[in-house]
Amino acid sequence: MMNKKGYLALSATALLLLAACGNGEDNGAASEGDDFEGITDDPTELTAWMWDPNFNVAAFEMAEERFQENNPDFSLNIVENSQADVIQRLNTSLSSGVETGLPNIVLIEDYRAPSFLTAYEGSFYSLGDYFETSDFADYKIAAGTHNDNVYNVPFDTGVTGLFVRTDYLEEAGYSLDDLQDITWEEYIEIGKSVYEQTGVSWITNDNGDLGLMRIMMHSSGVWWTDEEDGVTPFIEGNEPLRLAFENYKEMVDAGIVNIHNDWDQFIQTFNNGDVVTVPTGNWINASIMQAEDQAGNWGVAPIPRQSVEGSVNASNLGGSSIYVLNVEGNELAAEFLAATFGSDAEFYQDLLVDIGAMGAFAPASDGEAFEVEVDFYGGQQIFQDLAQWTQEIPEVAFGQRTYEIEDILSVALQDFLGGADLDEVLQNAQSQAELAM
Amino acid sequence: MKNQETMKKVFMYSFLILTSVMFFFPFYFLIISITNPSIDITRGRLLPGTHFIENFRTMIETSLLSRAVINSTIVSFGQTILSIFVSSLAGYGFEVHKSRGKEIVYNMVLLSMMIPFAALMVPLFRLFGTISEVAPIFGIDTLFGVILPYVSTAFLIFFFRQNTKMFPKELLEAGRIDGLSELGLFLKIYMPTMKTTYAAAGIVTFMGAWNNFLWPLVILQSPRNFTVPLVISAMGSGYLIDFGAVMIAIFFTTIPTAIIFFVLQKHFVAGMVGSIK
């Protein structure tokens, strides 16, 4: 004989719960129904998955606005997650074969794109016919090309520069001119001298992150994997990779490297003025310019090249492209991208001015925004320089295993720095990477 | 002799103070950071600043945190109430009632604890894809979808069964004689007696639900339905991160779990050691 109070309390709890959960559904009820099957029901609203609120999301909001001028019904629903989370969700959705909730548009880092295009063949929509692919730097288009079909509209370039503290340089008797078109060996020599005179570290690096090696190798046009199949590891006998390892060890042994462990510490190092040069992607610009007290003390030189044939003073680190999923709404998504990121030179000017985003769209680099003299960099036209270097970046086949092989190589690098024989280290890494295939 | 005692105390207290500082430092840094601009946070400034209001504004403007707090609250309370009710029924049943094959079933339940969630995710997502077609309100991109896989968990069943071992079965006999139904025995005798166990299970489940990341990430698709960890994770990713806003978000979402823990702390400890009044 359960008393009434007990039942009442129980059913009240249950009701409350139902109501609470139901509430979650009802809120924004107008859009709930459409949203849920938004992709099929409402062809004027598209969903996009991406990361970075100040950069990618801001860029897409601007693109949405521009596209709306001629397509007033159009709207873009941007879902913001971290990059790792976008990958996790995309992988789960695509590998379970459930189309419910898949976005129309997704941003993928160039290094990761080949593995997605291979693993989920047929899940992406070919975009090559929608825009002029030759307007973009070759290496960006190559990252999204699979079986001769172009699946990406390139977005931000990861063109690298050698960001330098000119005041430290001058203190040691050098100027920005001494860093023009040099090799990594020359870079190290100058570094030793500057370090001796100023006591400030020449470069900062995270030993677990092979970004610096990637920069070096990309300038010579090779990658961790075979350029034909994109899977076979190319570690043993990879001359630029070998040289990258050797050069880095020389820097470490000379004591001119500051070691940081994560992204915050990286930013902290140059914001605090604890390092002279930052060789990295142009996207670091916003973080460098955060330290307003250092205005006028920075400059950008071309990235050093490797002492191997074919290496150039231009490279890339990071950067991503836009992909369209092969679900309903794909044609609209393609048209939207073609009209904005794919062809609109003026839009790229706005992107640079408003959010500091540099695209890989060649026709845009003649615009006014690129010619601006940046006071923070002593009046240097850094965007024009970077845009010019973008077009010089060698084409590289990123392959499907960039980060997987890097996990193996970062251990190898530690061994090598610890004094192990380089041939042996690379041989081991090669066989480990082959085993993992 | 007395000197030795003092030395021991000095040593003990300095050790305790040192460990307290170590544990307290992250909180201190969090509290300091919410008042500093992003640049000072990356520079490791340890003094309070004047940027609190700006940080707060950025956080409100750029993230859906308030919506996410509501979602997380619904999910956490919903999951806690449902799962401790269902799992305690199971744990009670396993211990109190006799049936053939009971132990085999129980061992199978325990075995399911060995399978990592990552391995279950894809099949589970497929299942919810199918559920979405039949009953969309329980499917993908709903808060029910977040709760459902956790309504019955092997750990809680195990936890309740273990604690039920100490439950005096005579109480049930007495209840039966007084004419209580089986459900009545559970609701009116078992549940009130096991209050501390419920409190401990409640805290563990609530914290787990509040901090749960992987499953909500996969199942929730619209920002409107996001829970707190998803929003914070999204804020901390990008070329230029506003650490001030991130710190504020973390600060405001640590408070509820802290409050719940402190309120229920007494029961929590009692429940963990399994006391019955």
Give the relative orientation of helices A422-435 and A239-254 as an angle to the nearest 10 degrees. 130
Q: Rounded to 10 degrees, what is the CA torsion of A330, A333, A337, A339?
A: 110
Please report, as a single letter, which amino acid is at residue B142.
Answer: T
Nearest CB to B132: which of A3, A55, A100?
Answer: A100
What is the DSSP-derived secondary structure letter of residue A148? T
Is the Cβ pair A79, B223 closer than 8 Å? yes
Is the Cβ pair A287, B240 closer than 8 Å? yes
pLDDT confidence of residue B246: 87
Tens of pLDDT along A312-355? Answer: 999 999 999 999 999 999 999 999 999 999 999 999 999 998 88
pLDDT confidence of residue B118: 85
Q: Are A246 and A284 in a shared domain?
A: yes
State both tokens at B54: 């700006």
Size of interface A-B (CB pairs under 8 A): 145
Among A3, A75, A79, the residue to mutate for chain B (most B Cβ within 10 A): A79
Q: ipTM strictly over 0.90?
A: no
Q: Are A429 and A329 in a shared domain?
A: no
Highest mean pLDDT out of B152-161, B229-238, B262-271: B152-161
The more confidently predicted of residues A77 and A15 is A77
The more confidently predicted of residues B40 and A125 is A125
Is the Cβ pair B221, A20 closer than 8 Å? no
Tens of pLDDT along B27-73? Answer: 898 888 888 888 888 777 888 888 888 888 888 877 788 889 899 99
What is the domain extent for residue A396?
160-315+385-435
Tens of pLDDT along B81-105? Answer: 999 999 999 999 999 988 888 999 9
Is the Cβ pair A2, B78 closer than 8 Å? no
Q: Are A107 and A150 in a shared domain?
A: yes
Q: How far apart are CA B217 and CA B233, in angstroms?
A: 10
Q: Are A419 and A346 in a shared domain?
A: no
CATH number for domain B66-227+260-273, candidates 1.10.287.3610, 1.20.1560.10, 1.10.3720.10, 1.10.510.10:
1.10.3720.10
Q: A296 to chain B nearest CA, in Å?
A: 18
Average pLDDT over residues B271-275: 61
- E strand spans, A129-168: 145-146, 149-150, 152-154, 160-165
Q: Would you say residue A353 lies in a domain? A: yes
Lowest-confidence range among A26-30, A344-348, B29-33, B110-114? Answer: A26-30
Confidence of residue B249 (pLDDT cuts 50, 70, 90): confident
Is the Cβ pair A35, B233 closer than 8 Å? no
The residue count for chain B: 277
Among A5, A60, A85, the residue to mutate for chain B (most B Cβ within 10 A): A85
Confidence check: pLDDT of A85 > 70: yes
Number of compact structural domains in chain A? 2
pLDDT confidence of residue B61: 78
Is the Cβ pair A35, B71 closer than 8 Å? no
Is the Cβ pair A77, B222 closer than 8 Å? yes
Confidence check: pLDDT of A27 > 60: no
Find out whether A279 and A204 touch, Cβ atoms under 8 Å: no
Sign of the CA dihedral running A251, A257, A259, A265: negative
Q: How far apart are CA B19 and CA B13, in angstroms?
A: 10
Among B240, B242, B243, B247, the residue to mutate for chain A (most A Cβ within 10 A): B240
Q: Would you say residue A23 lies in a domain? A: no
Q: In the predicted model, what is the mean pLDDT of chain A?
A: 88
pLDDT confidence of residue A244: 95
Q: Would you say residue A12 lies in a domain? A: no
Q: Which residues, numbered 205 to 264 in chain A, qualify as contacts with chain B under a Cβ-Cβ cut-off of 8 Å?
A: 263-264
Cα of B230 vs its chain's centroid, Å: 15
Lowest-confidence range among A6-10, B60-64, B82-86, B195-199? Answer: A6-10
Q: A34 to chain B nearest CA, in Å?
A: 12
Q: In the predicted model, what is the mean pLDDT of chain B?
A: 88
pLDDT confidence of residue A223: 94
Q: B214 to chain A nearest CA, in Å?
A: 9
pLDDT confidence of residue A146: 93
Angle at B239 between CA A383 and CA A289, to 5 degrees: 55
pLDDT confidence of residue A15: 47
Q: Are A188 and A94 in a shared domain?
A: no
Angle at B71 between CA B70 and CA B72, to 5 degrees: 95
Among B239, B241, B243, the residue to mutate for chain A (most A Cβ within 10 A): B239
Q: Are A127 and A174 in a shared domain?
A: no
3-state helix, strand, coil in chain B (%, to 5): 80, 0, 20
Q: Are A335 and A226 in a shared domain?
A: no
Nearest CB to A101: which of B81, B141, B180?
Answer: B141
Is the Cβ pair A21, B74 closer than 8 Å? yes
For A50, A56, A114, A309, A322, the CA distances from A109, given in Å and listed in that order, are 10, 12, 10, 28, 9
Is the Cβ pair A25, B143 closer than 8 Å? yes
Q: Are A222 and A290 in a shared domain?
A: yes
Partners of A84 on chain B (C-beta within 8 Å) are 237
Q: Are A310 and A322 in a shared domain?
A: no
Residue A70: phi and psi, rounded to 5, are: -100, -15
Is the Cβ pair B240, A54 closer than 8 Å? yes
Q: B166 to chain A nearest CA, in Å?
A: 25
State both tokens at A245: 């390892």
Is the Cβ pair A82, B233 closer than 8 Å? yes
Domain range list for chain B:
66-227+260-273
Is the Cβ pair B237, A83 closer than 8 Å? yes
The more confidently predicted of residues B137 and A195 is A195
Sign of the CA dihedral running B223, B226, B231, B234: negative
Is the Cβ pair B181, A1 closer than 8 Å? yes
pLDDT confidence of residue B99: 87
- Where do the H-state alpha helices sit in A230-371? 239-254, 263-271, 285-289, 330-339, 345-355, 368-371
Find out whether A107 and A322 touch, Cβ atoms under 8 Å: yes
Q: Would you say residue A11 lies in a domain? A: no
Q: Would you say residue A374 lies in a domain? A: no
Find out whether B70 and A25 touch, Cβ atoms under 8 Å: no
Confidence of residue A366 (pLDDT cuts 50, 70, 90): confident
Identify the closest residue of chain A to B38 by CA–CA distance. Answer: A290
Partners of B224 on chain A (C-beta within 8 Å) are 27-28, 31, 35
Q: B171 to chain A nearest CA, in Å?
A: 16
The SS3 of residue A49 is strand
Find out whether A307 and A325 touch, Cβ atoms under 8 Å: no
Confidence check: pLDDT of A31 > 80: no
Is the Cβ pair A54, B122 closer than 8 Å? no
Q: Would you say residue A17 lies in a domain? A: no
pLDDT confidence of residue A9: 53
Q: Are A123 and A169 in a shared domain?
A: no
Partners of A85 on chain B (C-beta within 8 Å) are 217, 230, 233-234, 237
Tens of pLDDT along A145-194? Answer: 999 999 999 999 999 999 999 999 999 999 999 999 999 999 999 999 99
A287 at interface of B, judged by CB pairs closer than 8 A:
yes
Residue A263 sits in a domain whose CATH number is: 3.40.190.10
Is the Cβ pair A96, B187 closer than 8 Å? no
Identify the closest residue of chain B to A88 by CA–CA distance. Answer: B218
